[in-house]
Chains A and B, each alone.
Chain A
Amino acid sequence: MSKALFREFLRSIRRTIKRYLAIIAITGLGISVFTGVRATGPDMEATADRYFNDNNLMDIRVVSTIGLAGEDIDTILAVDSVEAVMPSKFVDTFVEKDGAEAVGVEGAALVCRAMSLDFGLAREASAGADDSAYMNRLHLTEGRYPDKPGECVLDSSEINSTTTFEIGDKIKLKGDGENLGSILTTDVFTIVGKVETPLFVSYERGTTLAGGGKLGSFIYIPEGAFKTDYYSEVYVTVKGADAFGTFTREYTEHIKGAADRIQAVSADAVSRRAVLLAAEYTPKIEQGEKDYAAKKAEVDAALAKAQEKVDQIIYYAKNGEAELAKKTAEGQAMLDAARAKLDAAKEEYNTGLARYNEGIVQYNEGKAKADAGRPQYEAAVAQLNEAAQDISDAQERINRQQALVDSAENFVNSADEATLATLIANLSAAGYETSFLESLPLSEVKAVISASLVQYRRVLSNAQEKLAAGIAEYEANKKKVDAATAEYERLDAAKAELENAKERLSQAKIDIALGEAQFQVKQAEFEFKIKDAQRDLNLAVANADTAQAEFDKKKAEALAGLAAARLDLDNGKKLLASLDTASWYVLKRSDLPGNADYSIAVENMDAISGVFPVFFFFIAAAVCLTTMTRMVEEERLQLGTLKALGYTSRAIVSKYIFYALSATAFGAAEGLILGFRLFPRAIFDVYSIIFNMPPILLPFRIGDAVLGTLLISATVAAAAFLACRKELLTHPAQLMRVKSPKPGRKVWLERIGFVWNRMSFTSKVTVRNLFRDKKRMAVTVFGIAGCTALLLSAFGLNDSVGGVVEKQFGAGGVSLFDGQIALSQPIDAGIENSEVLGLLKSDVRIKQTLPVFYQSLDAGSASEGSERMNAGIVVPADTSTVSAFMRLENRKTGEKYQLGDDGVLVTEKFAAKTSVAPGGEIAVDTPAGTVKLKVAGIVENYTFHYIYISSALYEKAFGAPPRYNLVMANLADSMNAGSAADRKKAAADLSRDLMNMDGIMAVTLTDQLIESFGNITGSLNDVVFIFILAAGALAFVVLYNLNNININERKRELATIKVLGFYDREVSSYIYRENVFLTLLGIAIGIAAGIFLHRYMVAVAEVNIVMFGREIKPLSYALACAITLFFALIVNLLMHRSLKKLSMVESLKVSE
């Protein structure tokens, strides 16, 4: 390429940058979906393969119903092609954390498998050792490995458990129908780490005989924690198995050989062990029963005695309480009385004190008054005393006067000497002068005296009068003084009385204080006494309780010991009973929980990869192709110019081829970089909701990369080449001419006058425009149709896949039964006599049962060399009730079949795969030989293959009566009542109860099945969502590109109508109308194409044992249309903007 041409090349890229980018984007999308989606399945497979190989996942797992002894292990190791063995012990238990039972997500008790492991191996492996005897290698996600008994590592996924466990938690294991004491050295373990194991790639942990039948978690414990001397299972690796991919047919066949050989040696090994066990257990159990009886009697007696003692203590504790209550009441009453008395004394004291205070006041008043009158009083007393003296003096004088008068009278009368003497004495006494009388004669004297007598008498009467007055006054005064004296005396008395009262009061006060103190002491004493008594009592009660608790504990221990002994005996008996039917189960990787699901996921991906990405890729390639062709056609002027300038055709062609190649190369590079990372990772991310795997490996897959890139580059380059050649073949002069637009022509619609004439002018224009360029129309319709078809098929796939579960198990589905119960012993003795069946029937939760013989065998068409596939032989015991358990109908004709004796019914997919038709024959391989059976009909079915045979026909064909080993059950209506959680709980309870019945091995409830199926198909739905996104993106880019081409091609026309004065919206609608029509047409065609694509995709994507639904739901149609319309709308909006920006001046330049 010359320099000028190269520059022209760069310029044409710049000029058509939108188109160039569109080619890059579409190529990128096409390649990324093509390579990415197709790589996903292989990537997932490679990831699993690497994971399994790196961790030395077992190829075969042998489980024996009676355990495996050392010799058995040796036997297996000696089997041809066995590389290594790893025996392991396990026990399935319930788990307690902090005394509470751990609960699973179903609401039933969590069942945990405790498995033994030699942690020395694990530690060495961590250090880099690669010991082939260490299988299913653990990966520590947290913590460390156990290094002493009593430690464990726990399942790192706790998705099945509602109880959470942390490192450092202590968990206690509890056996279900098993005596852990005789299996483990301890039942308490400390979690020291969390691990992942390749044994479980999903959240499924498998089945168990314990609890509700589903394992929820596992722990690994040191081998030393097991007491048992036999192993529960042995893991086996097969020589050369690593060389095959784990999901390949080669691997399966390789393993099948080894498995068959192990199965072959099992019969001898089992009977060898059975004999030993019989010899060991028969006497052991006999002796054990005796010991048990003795021990039980002993325990019962001891317990009775202990109980008596405890009862006594309890009685005492109870009476003590009543007594204390009485004592307390009495003491309180006494205290109350004392209190009352004390209060009365206080009251009295208070009134006395008040009275005393009042007396004091009165006294003080009186005293004050008395004290004031005291001087007067004393004067009066003195006066009175004087007056009394005066009175007595006056009396004396009166007496003497009287004596004088008397003696004078006497003398006068007698006139004698004697009388005279008396007289004289009296006279002198009276103070009279007598001396003269002595000298006078008597007579004279007599005369004088007689004369003086009158005077004497007068003096006397005067004195007497005076005295009388004096006495009267005295008397009055004396009376007054006496009153005053009495007052004084009263005051003194009052004072004494007050003093007295005071004395009494103070005494009373002391008494009261004393009383109070005494009362306090008494009360304290009382309280102390009661408290003391209470404490004693509490102590007694507490003792009684601990005594009870202690007794209960001892009792429980004793009984548990007995129960454990009983369990051991019963289990021993069961073991003995099962020796006849003992066998080894030889299981493969595909039997590991979740493993088959993963392989189904891979298969699904592979199957879809064959259709969707390929179709997607072709649409992308086709769009690129047309884009390129249109581009060359548009640039014919340049082509002509270049040619006229003397460039060779080859040089010109090389420019366009280079354009095509560079765009597709960029696109491919981008697509490969994205595709190989984006799609596998995104899809794997979706699956990682259910699968637990290391990060996905993303190898570059050169094959698809080269194929895709070559295909698209070659297509687009070829398109460029062919288009150039076509243009260059014409004469350059013609090329140089102004691009002659396609001539207008009448369209056929115009010939239908009554339609055409009725159309509006604008619709006519639209119709003309549409039909003018049929190629453009075709390309647009093709693009839109392709995207709609992709979308519809993606949504439809979603419906088909999602519908499987519903159609198989849902209401109105094919399998009508609510549950399947696997029996540990087939019902041989006749259905009427079956104990298990009787038990099941007596459970009110079970409405109806149907015993069935089920066996999975290889079958195929009876013709020579036909392919065999696994199918389930189903022989119902009773043909009359079959219709309540399964719908045996032909999907296409709707014919209902009755299971007859002249032929078998086979399921639809089986019939299709083996191409047998009613009337034809199938062959079933049994260990005894091949059995041929006539086909009477083909029944609708979605998962797995079944061959339904009547019991009579079975017996005739197989030469033995069917041994019913499965019971189909319909549940009572009550089981379907209540909320979802209630139903779940009821189902979990039923499962557990059934599992606890004798003779029942496994219980599968349909609801649980639906849920686990739903998980897988649900994630496929999410994967489909990724496709939908991709298809949507493609729809968008394609529409955008086509519109861009359209506008580019019609710039001139659009500019013209703009010049004419069309409004922006009129300009847009000029194109919209065409787009809307093309989009609708494209959608219509796309729907039709989508239906076919979907049908094809479903047919291809179907996994062998699953038949997908064939219908697409109305919603999917709606969504596919809506998404296409949505993208069309966005593209049209973008277009509106670019139309608005379209420059009239530029577009109309002549040189265009």
Chain B
Amino acid sequence: MSFIEFESVYKRYKMGEITINAADNVSFQAEQGEICAVVGPSGAGKTTVLNILGGMDSCDDGKVRVGGEVISGFKRKRLIEYRRYDVGFIFQFYNLIPNLTALENVELATQISKKSLDAKKVLERVGLAERLNSFPAQLSGGEQQRVSIARALAKNPKLLLCDEPTGALDYTTGKQILKLLQDTSRETGMTVLIITHNQAITPMANRIVSLRSGRVFTIAVNDRPVSAERIEW
């Protein structure tokens, strides 16, 4: 049994007469400790899949299992707990709380998690030891994304979900971020799901799920993922 299992998952949006299938019979698996890249053109349903996997959204049909538990059947409270303890999110636009310092933004997450890591240490690890008391507005995009990663990592989740983490970043910063994610996965055995438009990123993933108009187009397994540093685009 795989760590992540999508089994014929559907997500439909009714827009008046027409129905949009944001996820249309999506099935795939990912193993524990893997980096899984989800790629596809805009509107393919990547974010939809990620949101469902992260417990932020529900699916209309099918089953989603994470670590053997059927999260698609969770009740509201249980779903919150799942997000609280098992999932870390990283967004394209960071979504930091603007009026909290870097440290406080991380603490916001560690406050509520039982097995959380020390906020300062995590920030040190992402290379922000010097910027603990800076507010998001005082940080660069890459730094902000690192705070965001620190916030996700500090909860010590089993699953890290990243929706275009490099989308708003320049080349080098993006690479740094990707490296951070890869290192984390390697060091802690955390399962990481990365959404990206950027096909160039895929070589660093163990598995590449390609979506097109809500359907799984291909699933490729990469036995030799390259280090993030070596990726070029």
Contact = CB atoms under 8 A, between A and B. Distances in A.
B54 A1053 contact: no
B95 A1056 contact: yes
B83 interface: yes
A769 B99 contact: yes
Contacts of A1055: 95
A743 B98 CA distance: 6
Nearest to A740: B137
Interface in B39-87: 51, 54, 56-57, 77, 80-85, 87
Contact of A744 (B77, B101, B109): B101
A1057 B108 contact: yes
B135 interface: yes
A740 B144 CA distance: 14
| Residue in B97, B108, B135, B136 whose Cβ sees the most chain A Cβ within 10 Å | B97
B92 A1145 contact: no
A744 B81 contact: no
Contacts of B89: 1059-1060
B218 interface: no
A1063 interface: yes
Contacts of A1052: 95
A978 interface: no
B112 interface: yes
B112 A741 contact: no
A8 to B, nearest CB: 19
Contact of A1145 (B56, B97, B99, B107): B56
Contacts of B199: none
Contact of B83 (A772, A1053, A1059): A1059
Contacts of A1059: 54, 56, 83, 89, 95
A744 to B, nearest CB: 3
B45 to A, nearest CB: 13
Interface in B3-58: 51, 54, 56-57
B97 A1056 contact: yes
Contact of B98 (A742, A761, A1062): A742
Contacts of B172: none
A560 interface: no
B133 to A, nearest CB: 8
A682 interface: no
A830 B67 CA distance: 112
B85 A761 contact: no
A741 B98 contact: yes
B123 to A, nearest CB: 16
A1057 B56 CA distance: 12
| Residue in A744, A1052, A1053, A1064 whose Cβ sees the most chain B Cβ within 10 Å | A744
Interface in A743-774: 743-745, 761-762, 764-765, 768-769, 772
Interface in A1048-1093: 1052-1053, 1055-1057, 1059-1064, 1066
A1144 interface: yes
Given A772-B99, A1062-B112, A745 B83 contact: no
A1148 interface: yes
A1150 interface: yes
Given A761-B111, A1060-B84, A744 B92 contact: no
A745 B112 contact: no
A439 B137 CA distance: 228
A762 B100 CA distance: 11
Contacts of A1145: 51, 56-57
A741 B97 CA distance: 9
A738 interface: yes
Contacts of A743: 98-99, 135-138
Contacts of A742: 98-99
Given A743-B135, A1056-B95, A1059-B83, A765 B100 contact: yes
Contacts of B95: 1052, 1055-1056, 1059, 1148
Interface in A374-417: none
Nearest to A1059: B89
B143 interface: no
B83 to A, nearest CB: 4
Interface in B182-200: none
B81 A1061 contact: yes
A1037 to B, nearest CB: 28
A1060 B98 contact: no
Contacts of A1060: 83-84, 89, 108-109, 112, 151, 155
B112 A768 contact: no
Contacts of A1150: 92-93
Contacts of A764: 104
Nearest to A741: B98
A320 B82 CA distance: 115
Contacts of B56: 1059, 1144-1145
B99 A745 contact: yes
B98 A744 contact: yes
A743 B138 CA distance: 8
A1066 B155 CA distance: 17
A1057 to B, nearest CB: 7
A21 B104 CA distance: 37
A502 B71 CA distance: 130
A723 to B, nearest CB: 21
A744 B133 CA distance: 11
Interface in A711-743: 738, 740-743
A744 B107 contact: no
Contacts of B83: 1059-1061
Contacts of A762: 111
| Residue in B91, B96, B98, B99 whose Cβ sees the most chain A Cβ within 10 Å | B99
Contact of B135 (A745, A761, A1061): A745
A518 B133 CA distance: 139
Nearest to B135: A744
Nearest to A1062: B112
Interface in B166-214: none
Contacts of B92: 1150
A740 B137 CA distance: 9
Nearest to A768: B99
Contacts of A740: 137
A1146 to B, nearest CB: 10
A708 to B, nearest CB: 39
Interface string B107-142: 111011100000000000000000000011110000
A1066 B112 CA distance: 10
Contact of A768 (B87, B100, B151): B100
A1064 B107 CA distance: 19
A764 B97 CA distance: 13
B52 to A, nearest CB: 10
Nearest to B151: A1060
A1056 B135 CA distance: 17
B172 to A, nearest CB: 22
Contacts of B54: 1059
A737 to B, nearest CB: 12
| Residue in B56, B98, B111, B112 whose Cβ sees the most chain A Cβ within 10 Å | B98
Interface string B146-173: 0000010001000000000000000000
Nearest to B56: A1144
19 contacts: A742-B99, A745-B99, A762-B111, A764-B104, A765-B104, A769-B99, A772-B98, A772-B99, A1057-B97, A1059-B83, A1059-B95, A1061-B81, A1061-B82, A1061-B113, A1062-B84, A1144-B51, A1145-B56, A1148-B95, A1150-B92
**9 smallest beta-carbon distances between A and B, as pairs:** A1061-B84, A743-B137, A744-B135, A744-B99, A741-B98, A1061-B83, A772-B99, A1056-B95, A1144-B56
Interface of A: 738, 740-745, 761-762, 764-765, 768-769, 772, 1052-1053, 1055-1057, 1059-1064, 1066, 1144-1145, 1148, 1150
Given A1056-B96, A1061-B84, 5 more contacts: A741-B98, A743-B98, A765-B104, A1060-B108, A1062-B84
Interface of B: 51, 54, 56-57, 77, 80-85, 87, 89, 91-93, 95-101, 104, 107-109, 111-113, 135-138, 151, 155
